[in-house]
A and B are shown apart, each in its own frame.
Chain A
């Protein structure tokens, strides 16, 4: 009994290193048997509604409204005609699991906001998911970080439905729950409105490690 507890203690304290060391092997086995394994580098799939929404890519529209000069309805083609940004960075869940070196590609959120023209009284954003329930928020300052993407590609391909495709948010310096899936509307507001996990007690300022970091994109 003490042996198991001792192992658990070591696992908690040294787990980050063990997790990193196990990553490749554990992922290979996990992929082979189709079951997630402790320490693998695989995504867990979260959805808060009954199943998940399937959003057709060809009719997709991203609405940008609220305190803007020019409300937008952007198709996937519109997003792909804008200035593209790609980066490789981890996806870190607040509960502990982490997927290192994930490829992300899309349009900087700041570029989308610039196109809509944010009015002077605006100070925050509210994000909506096509699942009809999940919402998230950022302050306008956070939204202007260069590593916050409206992403339509990840892992080298179009964002798949289970990862939140066709379009999701990716907020690199924050925990995964900020990177809302099935993104279909951005409302520009003058206050931060708590989203789904904030209502469950998680912080709105979800900096990985607890404090604002150095940006991952120079």
Chain B
């Protein structure tokens, strides 16, 4: 392999799941802010409509992930989710200053990304459960609805912080951001940022995603649906 060759980082399924979930998260944050913040609630109004958009989008939020996991196309997605859920000693380097790092070869995802994934994954499920209680629980469950509202409101702040951090990191690292559009990333990036992953990819017994898969990804539906 030449130093400038490209590696397949995300497949079409992963990118479709990412961008459809991202668009729904954006709708949820905007409608959620309108429902929650008094200044917006009073000036936008139309509470019934905004509430219905928020509730329907919320009910659909985990749909893309579920579809992504529902068939034989799930292989890459499952492998990356497992990777996000598995902590290695090198992951903690991300939280350390340069002089205190272990220097171990790094995984495909860093510690920050793993924290982000764990938080947002849990927050989405928790927001779904509390949201369903708030909207659909019988009116005699008001004590639980009060608790659900407390949690849902707290999640609003947590999710906004997590999403803003995610977008800020993405925008500040154009090559990684772009790989969520075209699925590919340079070998030199992997060499510098995810050497353990690169080693896995290039080890003889590990299945290396073919170049045709990466090209298919570029022309595939994900590239068209990306905003």
B118 (CB) vs chain A CBs: closest residue: A1
**Which residues of B lie under 8 Å from residue A209 when comparing CB positions?**
139-140, 142
How far in angstroms is the closest Cβ of chain A from B205?
31
Residue of chain B at shortest CB distance from A12: B147
Give the interface size class of chain A: 35 or more
A144 to chain B, nearest CB (A): 22
Q: How far is the CA of A126 from the CA of B13 in the complex (A)?
A: 53
Partner of B139, one of A4, A39, A98, A175: A175
What does DSSP make chain B's interface, helix, strand, loop or mixed? helix
How big is chain B's contact interface, by range?
A: 35 or more
B173 at the interface (CB under 8 A from A): no
Task: Give min CB distance, A143 to chain B, whole Å.
Answer: 20
A48 & B139 in contact (Cβ 8 Å cutoff): no
Q: Does A73 count as interface, using CB distance less than 8 angstroms?
A: no
Q: Are A48 and B122 in contact (CB under 8 A)?
A: no
Give every chain B residue within 8 A of A8 (Cβ-Cβ): 122, 126, 129-130, 151, 155
Select A5's contact among B126, B147, B157, beta carbons within 8 Å.
Answer: B126
- B140 and A45 within 8 A (CB): no
A120 within 8 Å of B (CB atoms): no
B48 CB–A CB distance under 8 Å? yes
CB-based contact A16/B47 at 8 Å: no
A37 at the interface (CB under 8 A from B): yes
- 12 further A-B contacts with Cβ under 8 Å, apart from A15-B148, A48-B45, A97-B149, are A8-B129, A8-B151, A12-B129, A14-B147, A15-B150, A36-B37, A44-B41, A47-B41, A47-B45, A94-B142, A94-B145, A96-B133
Q: Which residues from chain A sit less than 8 Å from chain B, CB to CB?
A: 1-5, 7-8, 11-16, 18-19, 22, 35-39, 43-52, 92, 94-98, 162, 175, 196-197, 200, 202-203, 206-211
13 contacts between A and B (CB under 8 A): A4-B122, A12-B147, A19-B146, A38-B153, A50-B46, A95-B145, A95-B149, A96-B149, A96-B150, A162-B38, A196-B48, A206-B139, A210-B140
